[in-house]
Chain A
Amino acid sequence: MQRQLFDHFGLPVMGLILILILVGCAPETEKPLEEVSYRLKWLYNISVVGDLYALDSGLFEKQGLAVNVKPGGPEKDAIKELELGHAQFGVASADQVIRAVSKGSPIVVIAQLFQINPLHWIYRPDKTPLKTPQDLKGKTIGVTHGGNDETIMRALLAKYGIQESEVNLFSVRYDYTPFYQGKVDLWPLYRNAQAPIIGAKLLKAGERFDLMDPSKMGIQFVANSVVTTRKMLEDRRETVQRFIKALLEGWREALDPANTETVIALILKYNKETPEEIIRQQLPATRILMMPSAKFDFGTIDVAAWQQTEEIMLAQKLIPVSVYVEKLLKPINE
């Protein structure tokens, strides 16, 4: 009976086992990469170095993702692209996020990039000594009307009880001429990206410069953070986790002083217009804003800073009612 069974099924079973062994030994077929798009806030520069690092060193691919990293710009709005489905992840400033949510945009924040807002004011300490916020009285201060530097400056003035009539708010644009000419005492700029360039020009002209940091005066206004849609987080949480894992790893490695030369070469690859000596100054400035201490857990969402950002926007009537910002903050565990 046993022999009969073997005669009937033995060969086919043996054949099947052989096939299974061969299939098992065959090289594993590669899973296709999952495609996602990531819209940056600005053009390729020092402020997106970690994003470029994650892309260039294959960290996204290791997580099974093919990420299309798209540069931002003045008219590019990552939140709008998320809603329209043109991107799955993006970078937006806190004021953009809060404004969007107050208008019903279904977005969430999954990581915070800048821990200190890079928006500072440059000034000449010899001509404009600033020891306390009260020293701002009587000064001509540059602000971009409608921009978040205006919001920050108004919050600062309000915090220290300085009336707007006690300062002269000067409308600024791309051109620094009024500052160079001394018509404006304090000019807003990004500490990591622009300060090394403008500072170098002032030093060349034999002038000293210093930077006013609103965060040191108690104004925490959150800058760039990584956002996605609520739907993406609910439906494709695992993709979001893999993306964040690769992105944060990219940022950590990019900001690691041990990788300085690789990072400078990387920036020069994507941005040929900025001279290397400027990038060398921009990189440590970026580290300070993103990694306040060596052991800082990169990407941490500063809930208190977000709450203060919302309070400032409410006080200045930039949003009609509270959006309960804590509900939007969804840090992703790697």
Chain B
Amino acid sequence: MLHRRIYQFLMIYFIGFAALMLVKYSLNLSDYVIPGFTEIGIACRRYFGLYLLAVLNTLAVAILGHLLSICMATVVGIIGRLTIWIGSFIRVAAYNIQAYPIVAVAPIIFILLGDGLSSRLLIAAMICYFPLLLSIIGILSEPVTEIEHFFESTRRMNWQLQAKIRAFENIHKLMTVIVGSATLAMVGTIVAEFIAANAGIGYSIRIALYQSDLAKILVALFLIGICTSIYLVLLEWLGMVIKKRIGSV
């Protein structure tokens, strides 16, 4: 699974890279607009190690933010499922907050939390939390009539059992949502670093952009892609393990 993901990512990356080179050499553009092989090679030698550490730093925050979002979305999703009014209120609130551009909210977050880890974590969680929440509310609000009917008629139904039934019956959907939101967590962390932090690959990209250094950005994009692919594979593997365990119960 890992090698397939990496292989697919490398294909996409190098198709994009080849397109850039095609534009560069066909239009005879300077290294300032699109860097040549030599410059990319130099950037790779100089910054690979540094950027790898930065990407790992970002990935660590993204994983933390993602876990936080999953926990919060599960709790709020269960509460939101309880009554129609609360569910509808949470959904509307989620849609509204999701509509805010994070760059506009960021100054408020800095005032409240400063520009350290907590701001990065919160922004990452905000970007991946709401899509996750909406999906989880949707899944947990959908009755599995044929099973729930039995427990209801025997008066053994409680909220924990209801949540378990609905989660179990929709485990494929849940896993897809969780894996999908992992990418959002990574994007969220990078965005947070771009506007708020002093560490991580988003911060390094910001500096490279100030210096119009596309070679550094290409190195950063390569590492982000590889690390995100590894994280996604890990999540898919975890999903398979969970499904197998549930299947064997």
A residues with CB within 8 A of B? 75, 77, 79-80, 83-84, 96, 99-101, 103-106, 144-147, 171, 173-175, 177, 318
Whether the pair B212, A104 counts as a contact (CB closer than 8 A) is no
What residues of chain B lie closer than 8 Å to A99, measured between beta carbons?
Answer: 32, 211-212
Query: Which of B27, B32, B206, B209 touches A100 (beta carbons < 8 Å)?
Result: B32
Q: Are A177 and B107 in contact (CB under 8 A)?
A: yes
Pick the residue among A104, A105, A177 that contacts B111 (CB under 8 A): A177
Which residues of chain B are near A177, meaning CB under 8 Å? Answer: 107, 110-111
Residues of A with C-beta under 8 A to B33: 79-80, 83-84, 105
| Smallest Cβ-Cβ distance to A170: which chain B residue | B198
Interface contact B107-A104, CB-CB below 8 Å: no
Quick one: which of B32-50 are within 8 Å of A by CB? 32-33, 35, 39
Contact with A along B186-225 (1 / 0, CB 8 A): 0000000001101000010011111110000000000000
Give the complex CA separation of A144 and B198 in angstroms: 11
A selection of 13 A-B contacts at a CB cut-off of 8 Å is: A77-B212, A79-B33, A80-B212, A83-B30, A99-B32, A103-B30, A103-B32, A104-B31, A146-B207, A173-B196, A174-B195, A175-B106, A175-B111
Kindly list chain A residues whose C-beta atoms are within 8 Å of the C-beta of B32. Answer: 79-80, 83, 99-101, 103-105
**Complex: chain B residue closest to A74, CB-CB:** B209
CA distance A145 to B202 in the complex (A): 13
CA–CA, A173 and B211, complex, Å: 16
Residue of A nearest to B215 (CB): A103
Q: What 9 A-B pairs are tightest by C-beta distance, nearest first?
A: A146-B207, A146-B210, A103-B31, A104-B30, A103-B32, A100-B32, A105-B30, A105-B32, A175-B107
Given contact pairs A173-B196, A177-B111, A84 touches B29 in the complex (Cβ within 8 A): yes
For the complex, give the distance between the alpha carbons of A1 and B32 in Å.
Answer: 78
Residue of A77, A106, A147, A173 with most partner-chain B CB within 10 A: A173
User: Assuming A99-B211, A177-B110, is B195 touching A106 (CB within 8 A)?
Assistant: no
Asked if A146 contacts B211 (CB within 8 A), the reply is: yes
Residues from chain A with Cβ under 8 Å of B107 in the complex: 174-175, 177
SS class, residues of chain B in contact with chain A: helix
Which residues of chain B are within 8 angstroms of A77 by Cβ–Cβ distance? 212
Which residues of chain B are within 8 angstroms of A174 by Cβ–Cβ distance?
A: 107, 195
Query: Most chain-B CB neighbours within 10 Å: which of A99, A105, A146, A174?
Result: A146
Q: What is the minimal beta-carbon distance from B30 to any residue of chain A, in angstroms?
A: 4
Q: Which of B39, B106, B198, B208 contacts A171 (CB 8 A)?
A: B198
Closest to B111 in A: A177
What is the CB-to-nearest-CB distance from A190 to chain B, in angstroms, rounded to a whole number?
15
CB distance from A197 to the nearest CB of B (A): 15
B110, B198, B211: which has the most chain A beta carbons within 10 Å? B211
Taking the closest CB of chain A, its distance from the CB of B27, in whole angstroms, is 7
| Contact (Cβ within 8 A) A100 B195 | no
Q: Is the CB of B29 within 8 A of A100?
A: no
Q: How far is the CA of A173 from the CA of B206 in the complex (A)?
A: 11
Contact between A147 and B210, CB atoms less than 8 A apart: yes
Q: Which one of A106, A174, A318 has the greatest number of beta carbons of chain B within 10 Å?
A: A174
Assuming A171-B198, A177-B107, is B29 touching A83 (CB within 8 A)?
yes
Cα distance, A80 to B208, chains bound together (Å): 15
| Separation of A87 and B90 alpha carbons in the complex (Å) | 49
- Chain B residues with CB under 8 Å of A145's CB are 198, 203, 206-207, 210
Q: Min CB distance, B11 to chain A, in Å? A: 27
Q: Which residues of B contact A105 (CB under 8 A)?
A: 30, 32-33
Partner of B30, one of A75, A96, A106, A147: A106
A150 to B, closest residue via Cβ: B210
Other-chain contact of A175, B31, B110, B209, B212 (Cβ < 8 Å)? B110
Nearest CB on B from A191, distance (A):
20
Return the chain B residue nearest A83 by Cβ: B33
With both beta carbons as reference points, the residue of chain A lying nearest to B207 in the complex is identified as A146
Question: Which partner residue on chain A sits nearest B195 by CB separation?
Answer: A173
Residues of A within 8 A of B110 (CB): 175, 177
The CA of A169 and the CA of B207, in the complex, are separated in Å by 15
Set of chain A residues within 8 Å of B30, measured between Cβ atoms: 83, 100, 103-106
Are A103's CB and B195's CB within 8 A? no
Chain B positions within 8 Å of A84 at CB level: 27, 29, 33
Nearest chain B CB to A10 CB, angstrom units: 62
Q: Is the Cβ of B210 less than 8 Å from the Cβ of A144?
A: yes
